[in-house]
Structure 1
Amino acid sequence: MIEQVEEKVVYQRPDSLSDVPTHYCPGCTHGVAHRLVAEVLDELGVRGRTIGVSPVGCAVFAYKYFNVDGAEAAHGRAPAMATGIKRTLPDHVVFTYQGDGDLASIGLAEIVHAATRGENFTTIFINNAIYGMTGGQMAPTTLPGQRTTSSPLGRDVELTGFPIHMAEMLSAVPGAAYIVRRSLHNVKEINRAKKAIKTAFQAQLAGLGFSMVELLSSCPTNWGMTPVEALEWVEDHMIPVYPLGDFKVLDALQSVAKR
């Protein structure tokens, strides 16, 4: 007699993630970040009242990949658009999804002033230390000595300055409620990243002010590495420059952030 085994679903697409192919390069961790955001939106039960704002950069088509209302902002202006949306629709959950070129370069003033004003939306910041979509040029987050198409001999800090540390910078702003940095280079850190993303959205739901989760991400194509090598590079080279941790957590979020 053949014994029937009950099947149990252990992995499925979140409702907040669209069932469409993405344009991301093989091994890129944008897909991981998308899934984490989508899972959190499902768990919080806010998909029907969420609006995402897409950047200009590798994630320019993010509005196609999240199964929520979306908007496309001009380069670097996602925080300004999110500000207008949230103020107009305060009962909605609003988030921006931005890369380091969009957020830390052309959009630097936008994100700083939005955080300073304590705008009550959430930013998911993807830091892969390079301009991805436009060909792998040096970004504000490029590491000292890192080679890119516009710094073929390595970033010279005497000529171009040091990398910008966005989490540390924004943690000093009074209007910020929750500012943390996580990584996507292994399963343990991916799980920690999801908890941080959930806490960031909970900060918004509680009306505490601006929240941002910075995620260290890999870019195998522009780094000239295999996907596995790129994940190792994040751990060996990016984390020493961009240490993981909580840079600002309001007292009202302390217990939530530790779960």
Structure 2
Amino acid sequence: MDIKEIIKPENLVYQKSEVLNDDIMHYCPGCSHGVVHKILAELIEEMGLQEKTIGIAPVGCAVFAYNYIDIDWQEAAHGRAPAVATGVARVNPDNFVFTYQGDGDLASIGAAEIMHACNRGENILVVFINNGIYGMTGGQMAPTTLEGMVTATTPYGRNVDLNGYPMKITNLIAQLPGTSYVTRQAVHTAATARKCKRSLKKAIQNVLDKKGTSFVEVVSTCNSGWKMSPVEANNWMEENMIPYYPLGDLKDSVKGEHSEN
């Protein structure tokens, strides 16, 4: 039997959002970026926001989001996405504006920008991909790199006496009065991906309702940087990353209320 008779288009389960274009993704096999892109595209389509959405893409693997999600995009310098998003959102108050950032970008060079944007309560969504490493530039230590974790710049493992402690920046963000919704999710299983989609939808709605900054961390893998297979990376994340960065909501309130988490 011809293979084309076995695999017919009408029998395929996968359906692609119209907001996700046909470009072949360049991300490494097992990377979380593609899953998060798919979720964002689905939500933008389902909520009817394609013509109202402006994404801010900074430096890092996250910058290539503009290749795949068919919306208006603005590039930003390394770490400066929240500052750029602030200007874009204030000039276009009726649009949905979000940043898409990695941990090296957001928690290191962009630490000042993210803290002050969240403290001001800018009406933006921040999507924060945390894989504990600088994925694009060679696998260097990031602020979120775990203690003992081997990277290109910590070949013997992160030493807190030399390098400080892994930064739980999402916990810090949750303390700021300008944030309305702060959560930590993952996308490595179907169940976690569904939970992440629900969280992102809530975060988007908060932005549309002018409730202040919503912040969604996605604990992720970087199997290339970690020198692991996709399966090994998922297992390592479950055993090491998620215990240190536990999943769930850290803050869910209206603008102006402080979190106790």
Q: TM-score range by the shorter chain?
A: over 0.9
- 1:34 partnered with 2:37: yes
Cα offset, 1:11, TM superposition = 2.4
1:136 partner SS: coil
Cα offset, 1:173, TM superposition = 0.1
Per-residue deviation, residues 69-104 of structure 1 (Å, max 9, x unmatched): 001000000001100000000000000000001100
Equivalent of 1:195 in 198, 214, 219:
198
**Structure 2 CA distance, aligned partners of 1:52 and 1:219?**
23
- 1:25 partnered with 2:28: yes
Instruction: Name the counterpart of 1:97.
Output: 100
Equivalent of 2:136 in 112, 133, 136:
133
- Matched letter for residue 233 of structure 2: A
Instruction: Name the counterpart of 1:213.
Output: 216
Instruction: Please give the TM-score of this superposition, normalised by the length of structure 1.
Output: 0.92
- Matched letter for residue 151 of structure 2: T
Contact 1:129 1:142 (8 Å CA) reproduced: yes
Moved more, 24-33 or 132-141: 24-33
**Structure 2 CA distance, aligned partners of 1:20 and 1:145?**
38
Instruction: Name the counterpart of 2:7.
Output: none
Cα offset, 1:9, TM superposition = 6.5
Equivalent of 2:76 in 65, 73, 78:
73
Per-residue deviation, residues 147-173 of structure 1 (Å, max 9, x unmatched): 001001000011111111121100000
Cα offset, 1:8, TM superposition = 6.7
**Structure 2 CA distance, aligned partners of 1:16 and 1:84?**
24
Structure 1 unmatched runs, 5+: 1-6, 253-259
Instruction: Name the counterpart of 1:234.
Output: 237
Question: Once superposed, which parts of structure 1, at least 4 consecutive aligned residues long, lie more than 2 Å away?
Answer: 7-11
Equivalent of 1:58 in 55, 58, 61:
61
**Structure 2 CA distance, aligned partners of 1:9 and 1:42?**
21
1:66 partner SS: coil
Instruction: Please give the TM-score of this superposition, normalised by the length of structure 2.
Output: 0.92
1:9 to 1:48, Cα distance in 2 relative to 1, 3 A = farther
1:195 to 1:55, Cα distance in 2 relative to 1, 3 A = same
Cα offset, 1:42, TM superposition = 1.0
Instruction: Name the counterpart of 2:15.
Output: 12
Identity %: 54
Contact 1:185 1:235 (8 Å CA) reproduced: no
1:25 partner SS: coil
Structure 2 unmatched runs, 5+: 1-9, 256-261
- 1:159 partnered with 2:171: no
- Matched letter for residue 77 of structure 1: R
Instruction: Name the counterpart of 2:259.
Output: none
